[in-house]
Chains A and B, each alone.
Chain A
């Protein structure tokens, strides 16, 4: 049992920190999210040059062959910088599926992700299904040795920037059956794919996507037909591990900013940080943060364990992260007073990102129920 970071891991963290220092201060980020693209292709290429887009992939696939702890480090640092570029969507989630895909599929696609040529997005959520990953109406029917894809996927994070999508679709069974779900690689430029792109409240972008008789070849299928659900659960749990890390990065910035502000802001003739009621609130923020860090380590160290243990770890961690995100985000705004309400201060932007993290892949209530059913 060991909780220390290796030299290599510390080096990785330093690399990301200096990249963010040079390219991602608050004003640069603001310019990026206000630009027409909404992200920086230049930054994306730099992430490729630094090797970061290859973190979880095996050496034979051209990657760095790192594990969940390294992904956690990247995501945590990106959380500190409020990075909008779709790293988790492309590398952790879609990359997670592709790592387990066939030799041919890996050869065809991974090099393009690692080189920064392609951005990918995972289209899974549907309006009627909320957080239920198996409630799927999008349908893929057999057609000429391939498939015909029809239906609507909602709030697909990062899709406006993507060239490729991974889509969960029903190939058999009833609407919320766990059996009969398949995963497909879909080229966004295919006939019948139409997107309504929009900005999200936390500075990112997403799309409503409809598929109308989209023709897919048989090698668009990842894994076995109808058997994708356990893989979806696995990759979503890995994604939750990374999202938790992103959240603790954001929390650490908010906590530091709040303590700093309360040391300098004066009212009633003294720094407001001298008031015990505010001190205790900041201590509770700090304790929530420490517990969130711990649960983030926990889940990322347990991703390789058996299914039940892994699911419990992911849901337990997400419950902690959701509750702490809410408490720290709201408290940081409150303690910054009127300034916390302004768009010009970074605090509100972190608060908004944390509020969206609460919902991503299921909120606290959802994961508390999942935790109960895994117990």
Chain B
């Protein structure tokens, strides 16, 4: 047991820093700084991901045989830490870290050949068709149906909270292929081309009020959509198993590197925010106690993550412990956002609809304050999405504690 980094690791850290310096341009930084919900233009995301792809670093968690970066756990930690420290965009997860592991584990050879290289190169943008208006926490009650029509399925229904569906070329969908007593037993996993006739994407405006096309989520409607049979992953009616497998990847992320960045930002806000009497917020003991309590909890999560991920090799999933990461990661993210709103005081109030427009105009109040309140509002989603944190506690209770 030790925390030592080898010389190779130290060299790797410089390599990552150099990469960020050349690839994460000041234009990208300026754009991302204006985001109320963490995402930027489609162009920015593609440009960033292509540069990671060319470097061979686009998929740190893929097995090397499929084009994964082949990082050791120490390198992965360094990579994540440096990326978060620089505030670099996160890779869009729907292709790379959600559908890809499912295709690798359950897809046919043809599907692997057809989809994985384009995911790796960000030639194809994916989105996730899980939730429905009537199927949220009770995901297995989903109703979007796919009827067997011989050489194709006919899909009818709707999916909701579909993140960045407005950019997507493909959607992976949970559909009902059979009505059974046990709802889980009639679900299948389909890959659908978003350009197919009968698909309609409508934006849903969330609390951060990001303007189109920067909206985060959408509702997707399917009306008599024909999907070729070869787009079924694995077996018909076995989709629930694949869906759960995917969810462990969705939840089993590292959260601490970006949480540390949030803490750093709060510290710098503390230095720049006057509180009267010639003092700054960073001099206020009550604020410092909250901030430091938060930092200690982030460190506790960091070491939970290190323990879990150092025991895994690339391509392995975390298992039900991923629910711990999801709960603590999202709860701490919200805590930091909450503290950030408190920190900027009155400057949380001014509302700017299109933060990306007039990028060179002076902001109302401090520059960094512009997106803090919208990000706080937007951040309430984190304990709701990917299975609400109450659902995560049900999972831990059942799968870890055996209750």
Contact = CB atoms under 8 A, between A and B. Distances in A.
Interface string A220-255: 000000000000000000000000000000000000
Contact of A3 (B5, B296, B299, B311): B311
B310 interface: yes
Contact of B303 (A6, A276, A287, A297): A297
Interface stretch (B17-25, B236-244, B390-398): B390-398
B357 interface: no
A3 B306 contact: yes
Nearest to A255: B401
Contacts of B402: 259, 263
Contacts of A31: none
Contact of A280 (B74, B304, B311, B390): B390
A149 interface: no
Interface stretch (B90-98, B131-139, B286-294, B374-382): B286-294
Given A1-B4, A262-B403, A283 B396 contact: yes
B297 interface: yes
A348 interface: no
B301 interface: yes
Most chain B CB atoms below 10 A, which of A2, A283, A294, A298: A283
A298 B303 contact: yes
B292 A372 contact: yes
Given A3-B307, A279-B393, A287 B1 contact: no
B interface: dominant SS? helix
Interface string B335-364: 000000000000000000000000000000
Contact of A371 (B296, B304, B401): B296
Nearest to B310: A3
Contacts of A291: 297, 300-301, 303-304, 328
A282 interface: yes
Contacts of A319: 293, 296
A279 B307 CA distance: 25
A279 B395 CA distance: 10
B2 interface: yes
Interface in B306-323: 306-307, 310-311
Contacts of B293: 319, 368
Contact of A294 (B4, B74, B77, B300): B300
A4 interface: yes
Most chain A CB atoms below 10 A, which of B288, B300, B306: B300
B7 to A, nearest CB: 14
Contact of B401 (A69, A259, A292): A259
B293 to A, nearest CB: 6
B86 interface: no
A294 B306 CA distance: 9
A352 interface: no
A290 B74 contact: no
Contacts of A5: 1
A199 interface: no
B401 A372 contact: no
Nearest to A271: B403
A297 B1 contact: yes
B401 A294 contact: no
A interface: dominant SS? helix
A295 interface: yes
Contacts of A284: 393
A143 interface: no
Interface string A91-125: 00000000000000000000000000000000000
A290 B296 contact: no
Most chain B CB atoms below 10 A, which of A259, A286, A287, A292: A287
Contacts of B311: 3-4
Interface in B233-292: 285, 288-289, 292
Interface string B186-225: 0000000000000000000000000000000000000000
Given A1-B3, A287-B324, A301-B1, A279 B397 contact: yes
Contact of B307 (A6, A262, A297): A297
A316 interface: yes
Given A3-B310, A3-B311, A282 B397 contact: yes
B393 A294 contact: no
A302 interface: yes
Contacts of B393: 279-280, 283-284
B327 interface: yes
A363 B403 CA distance: 33
A50 B343 CA distance: 55
A368 B289 contact: yes
A5 B307 CA distance: 12
B397 A283 contact: yes
A286 B401 CA distance: 8
A294 to B, nearest CB: 3
A301 B2 CA distance: 6
A310 B134 CA distance: 52
A213 to B, nearest CB: 43
20 contacts: A1-B3, A3-B310, A4-B1, A4-B311, A5-B1, A6-B1, A259-B402, A259-B403, A263-B402, A263-B403, A279-B401, A283-B396, A283-B401, A291-B301, A291-B303, A294-B302, A297-B307, A301-B1, A371-B296, A372-B285
Given A3-B310, A295-B300, A319-B296, 12 more contacts: A1-B5, A1-B74, A4-B1, A283-B400, A287-B324, A287-B328, A290-B324, A294-B301, A294-B307, A297-B307, A316-B296, A320-B297
The 7 A-B residue pairs with the shortest CB-CB distance in the complex, in nearest-first order: A294-B303, A291-B300, A279-B397, A1-B74, A283-B393, A273-B403, A316-B296
